[in-house]
Amino acid sequence: MFFNMLLGYARDSTDEHTTRLQLDALEAAGCERTFSERASSATAERPVLADLMNRIQEGDTLVVWRLDRLGRSLPHLIETVQKLEAGGVALKSLTEGIDTTTPSGRLVFHLFGALAQFERELIRERTVAGLAAARARGRKGGRPPKLSAEKLRVAQRLLKDPDSTVSEVARTLGVHRSTLHKALHGAVAKTVNGVGRGLVRAG
C-alpha cells in the first residue's frame, strides 16, 4: 500500500526512447515510485494502470508526463480522472502544468465532470436520433420490438448515469420497461454463471 506518495505512471506503445523520457521526467518531478506500461495496439487493456488505480490511496498524487497517457480515449480519460477525484487522489500532468493540489488545478476536476455530463448527453442524443431514424425506416405497429444485443449495450451504458432510470432508458430505446428489465437481469445472470463456471474450473 502507498500513503501520501507521489506516484508516476508512464505509457507508450512504440517508442522506447519516449518511455524513458517520461520516466526521467517523473523521477525529476519527485515521484517516489514509477510504473511503466507498454500498451499494445492489439488490446485496449492496461493492467499496470488498473493495478495502480486499485492500489493508490486517498492523499496520494498520481503524476503523468502528459494527460493523454491516462486514457485510451476521451471517455476513458474522463472516467479515470473522475475515479481519482472520487478517491481523494490528486493529479499532476507535467506537460500541461496541471496540479489539482492547487486551487486553479482543482478546476480541472470540475472541467472533467462537465465533460462527462456532456458525453452522456451526446450519447443520449445520438441514441434517440439513431433509433428514430431506424423506426422511420422499419415497420410501424405490430408486436412491441425486442431488445437487440446492441440496444442492451446502449442501455447498460446509459444506466451508468445515476440520474437515469430503467423506465426512461426503455422509452429512449423504444422498448417496454419489462422487456429491458428482463434483458438486464438476464445479462447479470449470464455474467454470474460465467464467473461461477470459471471458479469451478479453477478449483
Catalytic residue numbers, as ranges: 13
In angstroms, the CA 196 to CA 107 distance is 44
Q: Residue 155: left if φ>0, alpha if ψ -120 to 50, beta else—which one? A: alpha
Residue 99, helix vs strand vs coil: strand
Distances (CA, A) of 183 to 113, 146, 149, 168: 30, 10, 9, 15
In angstroms, the CA 66 to CA 95 distance is 5
Neighbours of 66 (CB within 10 A): 15
- For the chain, first and last CA: distance in Å? 29
Helices (H), 91-176: 103-137, 149-158, 166-173
In angstroms, the CA 81 to CA 15 distance is 25
Residue 43 is given by DSSP the state -
